[in-house]
Amino acid sequence: MEAKQYDAIVVGAGFAGLYMLHKLRERGLSVRVIEAADGVGGVWYWSRYPGAKCDSDSIFYNFTFSEELYKKWSWKDRYASQPEILEYLNFVTDELDLRPDIQFKTRVMEASFNDETKSWEVKTDTDEKFEAKYFISGVGCLSTTNIPPFKGVDTFRGEKYHTGRWPHSKVDFTGKRVVVIGNGSSGVQTMQEIAKEAKELTLLMRTPHYVAEARNHPLSKEQQEDAFNNYPKIRDAFFTTPGGIHLSTTGKSAIEFSAEKQKETLDHVWKTGGLALGAVYPDVGVNKETNFVVSQFVRNKIDEIIKDEHTAKQLHPDYYITTKRLIIGTNFYEMFNEEHVHLVPLKDNPIECVVENGVKLRNETIECDVIVFATGYEAMTGSLLKLNIQGRNGQTIQEKWGEGREVKTYLGLTMENFPNFFMITGPQSPSVLTNMPSAIEQHVDWIDQCIGYIESNGLQTIEAQRQAEITWGKQCDDIANSTLFPHTNSWYTGANIDGTQRGFVIYVGGLDNYRKICDEVAANQYDGFEFEKVYDTV
């Protein structure tokens, strides 16, 4: 079959793919976005579990590249729910007329670089072939679901769901005994809703996590107006803050304050809610003393809230706060005061297998009608590796990273041996430690400008140099090693699942600094890259 010709193929129609399409099309390039789902949204298309919400304040969780577009959309609540985010992304798609260039219900099965034609050949599960100069991944860092390989899952006679692949119809938990495995953001958010219907709800918890209060509320007309009037400030946060979002902060270390003042500040942050708990003292991620102040504050809150002392202690997290994603929940700890909500720590009583009527642990079997796997994702690299990408000489990313699965990229955007291939929110970028749309806009803008440079200089390919990758990897490691992050096993380190990457694969120096580095690389004629000119091959 003849390959369909485009200038660029983009994989995924979430925030990343949609904005990439818009930018490249404005540049006059022909673009095809390939999307497995039958609608736009990316992770927000699939994660339809009850209670699914974004934990960034909604007024930041959108595109800011166009003031006009920003002011055409009003969020209903402080935190946007999954249905509303999906509605927003459909609104953007229609406003920018993106739909005609997106091919839905199509999965990329393989993409390989042809060194003779200097183009990417992309094969899909619809038996189509595409050929393009540029191949761009917008598959996201949290999109390939992780169902741990528990024995016996298929023998379970009840219903089972993964939070990241939820059915489109409502699941009714009324009168049912429900087991939730996992207490990350998804588990915490969904338990709050399931508890309202279920007869019994049991959390199987491997690691206790820090859960800050969300304090969600509807946005008043005045608050919506304020967001519009503050557009320049909101846009500015995308450029000048480490997380791409304004969070309330003292700007100082906790150790500069008395114990009374620390408590007063943290009480205030707890009452106002949200991610600010992880930002109020900017050195929380690097200074053990500050970290202890904030962690201990949460442990004390848990003791205050939960009536049963034993349960409260079981829920005490013991890692450095913020070295795993801070979870934002609503009355999560209060829920354990309800008689029908149970906690089963797995530390000394791990899951052995799933059986036909429930989950068998080492010491007991928890009988249930429904199992909810809130067990997360093959984060950062899972979806990327599944694209089966082959660079020069057929080398796969897996081969490039080798047995040790040591991630190698330049700026988290490109890779040596993979010319004209770009990753939006790739490993070794700051993505997951930021407000995602902020990181996505930065990545897409950079890629778009880079493609503009290639086109306007009559170049055929751009490719990262090996030495640039080595230097970038070291820079990422050095920054991570100066923080508390590497002390904790998490999906930031690939430690949640065997078989994905190893090591710390996020640039933790902040989006603001990262942006400066990327801009400098571009300003220096793409320092660290090699180019092939059109006449090189003629």
Smallest separation, CB 251 to ligand NA7 (Å): 25
- In this chain, which of 107, 206, 316, 502 binds ligand NA7, going by CB under 6 A? 206
Pick the closer one to ligand NA7 by CB: 132 or 484.
484
Q: Token pair for residue 395?
A: 């080398």
Pick the closer one to ligand NA7 by CB: 149 or 232.
149
Instruction: Please give the helix or strand (H or E) that residue 290 lies within, else none.
Output: helix 288-305
Give φ, ψ of 211 to 5 degrees. -120, 115
Instruction: For 467-515, give the secondary structure using H, E and C.
Output: HHHHHHHHHHHHHHHCCCHHHCCCCCCCCCCCCCCECCCCCCCCHHHHH
Pick the closer one to ligand NA7 by CB: 111 or 351.
351
Burial 415-442 (b: 16+ CB within 10 A, else e): bbbbbbbbbbbbbbbbbbbbbbbbbbbb
Give CA angle at 369 (365, 374), nearest 5°. Answer: 80
Pairing relationship of beta strands 119-124 and 358-361 according to DSSP bridges: unpaired
Cα 281 to its chain centre, rounded Å, is 23
Pick the closer one to ligand NA7 by CB: 106 or 431.
431
Task: Please name every residue paired with 456 in a beta bridge, in sequence order, or none if there are none.
Answer: none
Which amino acid, 499? G
Smallest separation, CB 187 to ligand NA7 (Å): 5
Q: Which stretch binds ligand NA7 (CB under 6 A): 176-184, 246-254, 397-405, 498-506?
A: 176-184
* Tokens 């992880």 sit on residue: 278
Smallest separation, CB 506 to ligand NA7 (Å): 12
Q: Which stretch binds ligand NA7 (CB under 6 A): 89-97, 110-118, 179-187, 519-527?
A: 179-187
Pick the closer one to ligand NA7 by CB: 119 or 163.
163
Q: Is residue 82 a contact residue for ligand NA7 (CB under 6 A)? A: no
Pick the closer one to ligand NA7 by CB: 141 or 518.
141
- In this chain, which of 119, 183, 290, 420 binds ligand NA7, going by CB under 6 A? 183
Contact partners, residue 347, CB within 8 Å, separation at least 6: 206
Give CA angle at 382 (376, 383), nearest 5°. Answer: 105
Smallest separation, CB 88 to ligand NA7 (Å): 17
The Cα–Cα gap between 506 and 493 comes to 8
Pick the closer one to ligand NA7 by CB: 317 or 510.
317
Contact map string, positions 392 to 431, toward ligand NA7, x by CB under 6 A: ----------------------------------------
Q: Is residue 186 a contact residue for ligand NA7 (CB under 6 A)? A: yes
Smallest separation, CB 137 to ligand NA7 (Å): 19
Smallest separation, CB 433 to ligand NA7 (Å): 10
Instruction: For 142-189, give the secondary structure using H, E and C.
Output: CCCECCCCCECHHHCCCEEEEHHHCCCCCCCCCCCEEEEECCCHHHHH
Q: Is residue 81 a contact residue for ligand NA7 (CB under 6 A)? A: no
Smallest separation, CB 409 to ligand NA7 (Å): 21
8 A C-beta contact, residue 367 and residue 177: yes
Q: Is residue 491 a contact residue for ligand NA7 (CB under 6 A)? A: yes
In the complex, residue closest to ligand NA7 by CB: 184
Pick the closer one to ligand NA7 by CB: 339 or 498.
498
Smallest separation, CB 484 to ligand NA7 (Å): 16
Pick the closer one to ligand NA7 by CB: 124 or 438.
438
Q: Is residue 16 a contact residue for ligand NA7 (CB under 6 A)? A: no
- In this chain, which of 12, 187, 412, 510 binds ligand NA7, going by CB under 6 A? 187
495-534 positions binding ligand NA7, by CB under 6 A: 496
- In this chain, which of 148, 345, 452, 486 binds ligand NA7, going by CB under 6 A? 148
The Cα–Cα gap between 14 and 142 comes to 12
Can you spell out the DSSP letters for 368-404? Answer: -SEEEE---B-TTTHHHHHT-EE-GGG-BHHHHHTTT
**Number of residues near ligand NA7 (by CB under 6 A):** 21
DSSP 278: G
320-339 positions binding ligand NA7, by CB under 6 A: 325
Contact map string, positions 106 to 145, toward ligand NA7, x by CB under 6 A: ------------------------------------x---
Pick the closer one to ligand NA7 by CB: 187 or 412.
187
360-379 positions binding ligand NA7, by CB under 6 A: 374-377
- In this chain, which of 106, 112, 124, 163 binds ligand NA7, going by CB under 6 A? 163
The Cα–Cα gap between 453 and 373 comes to 45
Give CA angle at 438 (193, 136), nearest 5°. Answer: 100
Q: Which has the closest alpha carbon to 98: 37, 36, 168, 14?
A: 14
Q: Token pair for residue 407?
A: 């991630």
- In this chain, which of 64, 93, 192, 207 binds ligand NA7, going by CB under 6 A? 207
Q: Token pair for residue 329?
A: 């929940």
8 A C-beta contact, residue 269 and residue 281: no
Pick the closer one to ligand NA7 by CB: 163 or 417.
163
Task: Provide the binding-site residues for ligand NA7, judged by CB under 6 A.
Answer: 142, 148, 163, 181-187, 206-207, 325, 346, 351, 374-377, 491, 496
